[in-house]
Amino acid sequence: MRITRTGSAFRRCVQVMALPAILLVSLAAGQAAAAGIADTRHNLSTSNPRAGENRVTAGTEDICVFCHTPHGADITAPAPLWNKNLGSLTGYQTYASLNSSTIDGTILTVGSVSLACLSCHDGTQAMDNIINAPGSGQFDTTGGGATGRAYTWDTTTGRVDADGKLIGANNAALLGTDLRNDHPIGIQYCGGGPNATTPAGACRDIDFVAPQNATINTNLVWWVDTPGGTAGTRQRTDVVLYTRDFGGTNGPSVECGSCHDPHVPAATPTQVAFLRVSNTGSALCLSCHVK
List contacts with ligand HEC (CB under 6 A).
1, 3, 37, 41-42, 44, 53-54, 63-64, 66-68, 79-80, 100, 102-105, 113-114, 116-121, 127, 159, 171-173, 175, 182-185, 187, 189, 191, 239-240, 254, 256-260, 262-263, 266, 272-275, 279, 282, 284-285, 287-289
Least Å distance, CB 269 to ligand HEC, is 10
Least Å distance, CB 13 to ligand HEC, is 23
Q: Which of these, 12, 44, 46, 43, lies nearest to 29 by C-alpha position?
A: 12
Give the span between the Cα atoms of 99 and 177, in whole angstroms: 18
Q: Which of these, 202, 199, 228, 234, lies nearest to 216 by C-alpha position?
A: 234
Cβ atoms of 159 and 173 closer than 8 Å: yes
Which amino acid is located at 284 in the chain?
L
Which residue, 72 or 262, is less far from ligand HEC as judged by CB? 262
Which residue, 161 or 182, is less far from ligand HEC as judged by CB? 182
Least Å distance, CB 72 to ligand HEC, is 16
Which residue, 21 or 291, is less far from ligand HEC as judged by CB? 291
Which residue, 16 or 167, is less far from ligand HEC as judged by CB? 167
Give the span between the Cα atoms of 273 and 267, in whole angstroms: 7
Give residues with Cβ within 8 angstroms of 165, minimum separation 6. Answer: 123, 124, 125, 126, 127
Neighbours of 106 (CB within 10 A): 16
Cβ atoms of 188 and 112 closer than 8 Å: no
Which residue, 25 or 35, is less far from ligand HEC as judged by CB? 35
Least Å distance, CB 117 to ligand HEC, is 3
Which residue, 31 or 279, is less far from ligand HEC as judged by CB? 279
Please give the distance of CA 262 from its chain centroid, rounded to a whole number. Answer: 4
Least Å distance, CB 250 to ligand HEC, is 16
Give the span between the Cα atoms of 238 and 220, in whole angstroms: 16
Which residue, 6 or 15, is less far from ligand HEC as judged by CB? 6
Least Å distance, CB 20 to ligand HEC, is 31
Q: Is the alpha carbon torsion for 175, 5, 216, 72 positive or negative? A: negative
Least Å distance, CB 14 to ligand HEC, is 26
